A and B are shown apart, each in its own frame.
Chain A
Amino acid sequence: MSHATLHPTPRIADALREQVRTVALSLRGPAVVALVLLALGSALAIAEFVTGGGPVDFAPELSMLPGIVGFLFPIAVWKSERRFGISFLWLLPVDRRRHALVKVAAGWVCLMATVLFFLVWMLGLALVTGGNILGDHAVRLLPSAIVPQSGTLDPAALRTVLYAPEPVLWLVPFTAATGAYVLASAVAIGVRHPLRWAIGVPLSVMLVSVIGAAANIDALRLLASRLVEFIHEGRYGLDALLTARAESLNTAVILATGKTVSVWRGLPDIGEWAVATLLWIGAGLVVLVAASSRQRERRRPRAPVSP
């Protein structure tokens, strides 16, 4: 037996701390670009406000941006790693599967910091322009959840109500970004060609729909459209995760008078949002853990050969 004194492996907390630092460092470039864009957008909003335009309201649940950033974030987190090859990350003395999850967690920490920064920035912008910060505001409600055809809606049918967003909706950007990030991370560490999947799956659904329409097979066409509707606008669909359904409930209609107005088919429901969030993040975590098995520390596939 060897007389060498064996070296310990690093503590997982140290690896996580270091990965947070590494991911943050690697994101400096995109962060500068995002900051410049944010500054430009804010300058335009302030300029509009100064020249008589409306203030910028602070309604975190209305922005899909954190969710979109959450979907794209894993690309930035994993861009320097050969996920399925031999990269520096895998040479280090940490269990490969655990290390992949540590890196995902580190990316999440950076994502949350990014979302927080964005929210604080938007809050500042709302304060500067005197916008509404999660306060009451009047919204037009449609009498039924079905959006009427353009130009047929009687303005008298609209009901104006005071809507006071629940304070818990401040959490929406964080949960939206988290859910999207977890799902996208699962794809990033679970498949060799994530872009092919990201494009291929929607294309396949579209193809099914087109084939259904062309061949006049209603079942096929309906299957595709209902699947999309269920995943996107369903009670617990992606929109519920990303904006507490603020996106799908809010729509523009053309009144009988010819005027286009923004109306709500209903108001965001905290319970639905909470369930959708739990479902999506829970499912995302399950898929992430399953996907991480693609990165497991290699195991010997068969028994040793006898001499």
Chain B
Amino acid sequence: MSPIISERAGAGAGADCAVSTHGLTKRYDRDVALDSVDLRVPDCAVYILLGANGAGKSTALKLLMNLEPASGGTARVFGLDAAQHGPEVRAQTGYVPERHDAGYTWMTCGQLLRHASVYYPAWDHAYAARLSDALELKLERKLGRLSKGDTRRVQLTLALAHRPPLLLLDEPTDGLDPVVRKRVLALLAEHLADRPTTVLITTHHVHEVESLADHIGVLRAGRLVAQMARDELQRTVQRYRIELPDGWEAPRDLVVAASRSSRATREVQWTVVGDEREVTDRLTTAGARVRDVSSLPLEEAALALLPVETSR
């Protein structure tokens, strides 16, 4: 599939982007983790970065934080080159890493929060206390004795409490039970309503953040294969209910992400990537009868852009 990079809403030169990368590449020996990625995250947008395991999502976030050196290209956060201004970039960023590791195992949660507060002059102590309450942090418990979910709560509190203008959340709800997941998403929504914040989230659970999402990017084997606004994605990836004549052959370059057929009728349902009018025209020209075109939920539309083995 050729990349579907929207020219609209932040997909341009990155002038109004909080985060932009240009040809960002990361290699680990011979393995290419990121291959010339041009990410555009508009200011104050919630951008969901999707991809199968190993697609390069976490690597992209690490490069934005300047935690690892890029093999090529640039990454900019609020106009700051991440490679040259790592500390300044990290000061603007609330980061939830992929790993469930909140730092010093011998510290208590309360001590870690206090420790972090010194490093962020913008730390909001009242808000940190509110987050601790809402996420039911066990402030007296040592970090080394926390469960995976408890550690995630601490990481989320650390990321949000200094009210950063940018949140980089790598699987933020991973390890949380459904009740806490819901609470975290509510807190995130509240956070976004309170203060203009740009959010870049990687997740395998798009439905959880569906209500917040503005933009979607899809990484496949280190390459950014799609990047567009949410509504554009839902217009680009749609479900077509088609009636097919006998011996019908689909146009060769039609991008069919998923299909379902009915034996009782001659109908098939195809999830097709492309402009609706153009797809309809081509199907009709090829002899098929398009009965209905419907939008997909965001998660389904986004997953249609992932490799087949992931999207099914």
* A residues with CB within 8 A of B: 1-10, 14-15, 17-18, 21-22, 25-26, 29, 80, 86-88, 90-96, 297-302, 304-307
Give every chain B residue within 8 A of A6 (Cβ-Cβ).
78, 88, 91-92, 165
Contact of A8 among B44, B69, B72, B91 (CB under 8 A): B91
B192: min CB distance to chain A, Å: 13
Contact A9 B88 (CB under 8 A): yes
Contact A3 B119 (CB under 8 A): no
Contact A90 B67 (CB under 8 A): yes
Also in contact, A300 and B70, with CB within 8 A (given A8-B91, A9-B88, A94-B119): yes
Contact of A86 among B16, B67, B73 (CB under 8 A): B67
Contact B119 A18 (CB under 8 A): yes
**B257 on the A face (CB < 8 A):** no
Contact A299 B84 (CB under 8 A): yes
**B115 on the A face (CB < 8 A):** yes
Contact A299 B69 (CB under 8 A): yes
**B127 on the A face (CB < 8 A):** no
* B residues with CB within 8 A of A: 15-18, 22-23, 25, 36, 38, 43-44, 62, 65-74, 78-79, 81, 83-84, 86-88, 90-92, 95, 97, 99, 101-107, 111, 115-116, 118-122, 162, 164-166, 196, 198
B287: min CB distance to chain A, Å: 41
A-B contact pairs, 20 of them (CB 8 A): A1-B16, A2-B79, A6-B88, A6-B165, A7-B164, A10-B118, A10-B119, A22-B104, A80-B105, A86-B62, A88-B103, A91-B97, A92-B116, A93-B119, A298-B66, A300-B74, A301-B71, A304-B74, A305-B22, A307-B38
Contact of A298 among B86, B115, B162 (CB under 8 A): B86
Contact A305 B121 (CB under 8 A): no
A93: min CB distance to chain B, Å: 4
List the 10 closest A-B pairs by CB distance, nearest first.
Answer: A305-B23, A88-B103, A4-B165, A93-B91, A298-B69, A300-B83, A93-B90, A18-B118, A7-B122, A92-B119
Contact A3 B43 (CB under 8 A): yes
Give every chain B residue within 8 A of A95 (Cβ-Cβ).
86-87
Give every chain A residue within 8 A of B38 (Cβ-Cβ).
307
Also in contact, A4 and B115, with CB within 8 A (given A91-B67, A299-B83): no
Give every chain A residue within 8 A of B87 (Cβ-Cβ).
9, 93-95, 297
- Closest A residue to B62 using CB positions: A86
Also in contact, A86 and B97, with CB within 8 A (given A14-B118, A298-B68): yes
Contact B119 A297 (CB under 8 A): no
Contact B69 A300 (CB under 8 A): yes
